Amino acid sequence: MIVDRQGRRFRNLRVSLTAACNYACTYCVPDGKRLVAAQDELSADSLARGVAYLIEAAGIERLRITGGEPLVSQRLEGFLAAVARLDLDDISLTTNGQLLARKLPQLQAAGIRRLNISLDTLDPQAFRRIARGGDLASVLAGMEQAGALGMHIKVNMVPMRGQNLDQVLPLLDYCLARGFELRFIELMRMGHLARDHNAFLQQFVGLDQLLTLIAAQHAFVQVDAPPGATALRYQVPGKGHFGVIANESVPFCRSCSRLRLSSTGWLHGCLSSGNRHYIGDLLEKPRHQALPALQRLLVKALADKQELAFSGDVMVMKVIGG
């Protein structure tokens, strides 16, 4: 197993099925231009082979399928079928939920039981302003259908000053009422926000401010999070839980176990590092040739992790898989 000086190793793999997305969220892309699929995206089989090799070479235990928007990808069906054959107990998917209702049968058939759905507001106008695409009613319908099927749902919200702070309590109430776990993600200095400090600082809402807002309406206590978890977890007694991924306020780099594989075959050991390592060519080689080379690249990818705190990078989240 590849372990660094801080005792960190890769356990959680995020695979971006495509860089394409049907939204163009303000915090993700600067100019409202939707990202399209790269010309050189790998096939579903190659990406699934990447997962299989990484399970062996890095000891990956959990897989999250992401993007871009994974539900727009033509590779979804083939990839789900291929990874279902691998020895992984935990396969989950992150989506903006726009196409969820129609893709649910496929996800269910592939054994996906856990979904993270990104939703920044329950206000249709603010929704269109932030996502610059999509339709709120379709997202809510898909989410409620998934909930009715017994899927475990976490909702991701990025709270931003001047954009959706008035939605913190309505979204929390919406989630608590349905047994969904709301997770607030502190705005990250990624993509254009890594360059434009003013835009970042104007919108950033930290843990303390967020908890003060919530405390105005709900009593809550902090509870233990599972080992290696990135979110701080809170219980609203008798009602449910919520979480905060406090990248800036309480950085979790010291225990980060994430590895990312892009749709074009690049490994990223850290969101905050511009370094990446190409494995697309290795995935066409037989296992006995690929694994030693892969292990050498994994040592480099692990060394890319920051020691303490997330500092951001100009990479766009959709390209590497948020």
Give contact residues for ligand SAM (rule: CB under 6 A): 21, 27-28, 66-67, 69, 94-96, 118, 156, 158, 185, 187-188, 190, 193, 317-318, 322
- Cβ-closest residue to ligand SAM? 322
* Minimal distance, residue 92 CB to ligand SAM, in Å: 11
* Minimal distance, residue 43 CB to ligand SAM, in Å: 20
* Minimal distance, residue 237 CB to ligand SAM, in Å: 27
What does the longest C-alpha to C-alpha distance in the chain come to? 59
Are 190 and 312 in contact by the 8 Å Cβ rule? The answer is yes
* Minimal distance, residue 18 CB to ligand SAM, in Å: 10
CA distance 158 to 154: 13
Cβ closer to ligand SAM: 54 or 187? 187
Are 137 and 98 in contact by the 8 Å Cβ rule? The answer is no
CA distance 38 to 67: 12
Distances (CA, A) of 118 to 233, 257, 301: 18, 22, 27
Cβ closer to ligand SAM: 280 or 322? 322
Cβ closer to ligand SAM: 136 or 297? 136
Cβ closer to ligand SAM: 18 or 46? 18
Cβ closer to ligand SAM: 195 or 287? 195
Residues 6+ apart with CB under 8 A from 98: 22, 23, 69, 71, 134, 135, 138, 139, 142
* Minimal distance, residue 95 CB to ligand SAM, in Å: 5
